[in-house]
Amino acid sequence: MSSQRKPAIVFCHGIWADGSCFSKIIPPLQKDGYEVISVQYGLDSFEEDVATVRRTLNRVGSPVILVGHSYGGATITASGVDERVAGLVYIAAVAPDVGETVQEQLDKYPSDIFTRVQVADGRAWMLPNGTEFFAGDLSEEDQKLVWATHYAPVADLFQQQKIASTPWKSKPSWYILTTQDHTVNPDLQRWVSKRMKATVVEIDSSHVPMLSQPDLVLDVIRKAARAIQDNMTA
């Protein structure tokens, strides 16, 4: 492999979001010369979301770094076993082990956000005041935009298919830990990142650091990409 070869970067979003939640960090990475794509899955089933990630991997070159935010940590864990995936970056994310569901992880360390959720028409909707716990360090205007564009998952998404693989046991991983998070409890983040032996960077941020502190998130992704590139060319 040429020493100039940069890894592709594939983003995987969480619930109440879509691929555009990474809009502040995709353009700078593209400017750096990285091939970047943000997966657009439907939050209708875990199995189909993972299948969409795998289809998206077919649209970029390899090696690939998977970047998962929140629930996206489960989708990159399930799809990261693909041989094209060379590393994983978790942003305030869950990271289930074999046999665990996302809900089982969340139950270990409950968070505030689920007091601001309403199930209707089979989907789990965030109430307007839920943005306080989801994106509390954004401006009021930006929080209103987050709510207006949020995408509700199917209500039982977190109880669905258990993880069948744990690539973070064999592939390098990085973890952005958000210390002011009221959606994925920081204590859960500490537990999963320690278990996976990830390189951890703590950020004084809400659950959405890619929106509130994009430069810090970019720094971690760039370091991960350089590490993967160096490893592939060594």
> What pLDDT is attached to residue 163?
87
Q: What is residue 4's predicted lDDT score, i.e. its pLDDT? A: 59
Q: Provide long-range contacts, Cβ within 8 A and 24+ apart, for 128-136.
A: 132/182, 133/182, 133/183, 133/207, 134/16, 134/182, 134/183, 134/206, 134/207, 134/208, 135/206, 135/207, 135/208, 135/211, 135/212, 136/180, 136/182, 136/206
CA separation for the pair 45, 83 (Å, rounded):
24
Domain boundaries, the chain: 8-233
The mean predicted confidence, pLDDT, of the chain is: 95
Q: Give the mean pLDDT of 197-212.
A: 98
- Phi then psi for residue 36, to 5 deg, are -130, 140
Torsional sign, CA 133, 137, 138, 140: positive
| pLDDT at residue 62 in the model | 87
- Written out in words, the top-level CATH class of the domain with range 8-233 is alpha beta
pLDDT of residue 234: 61
Q: Which amino acid is at 7?
A: P
Rounded mean pLDDT of 204-214? 98
Please give the single-letter amino acid code of residue 91: I
Q: What is the pLDDT of residues 8-65, one digit of tens each?
A: 999 999 999 999 999 999 999 999 999 999 999 999 999 999 999 999 999 999 899 9
- The predicted-structure confidence for 111-161, as pLDDT tens digits, reads as follows 999 999 999 999 999 999 999 999 999 999 999 999 999 999 999 999 998
Question: Residue 162: what pLDDT?
Answer: 84
pLDDT digits (tens, 9 = 90+) for 100-113: 999 999 999 999 99
User: Using 50, 70 and 90 to split pLDDT, how confident is the model at 1?
Assistant: very low
Q: Taking the CB of residue 5, how many other CB atoms lie within 10 A of it? A: 13
Please report the sign of the dihedral spanned by the C-alpha atoms of residue 62, residue 193, residue 20, residue 50: positive
Average pLDDT, integer, range 204-220: 98
pLDDT at 5: 82
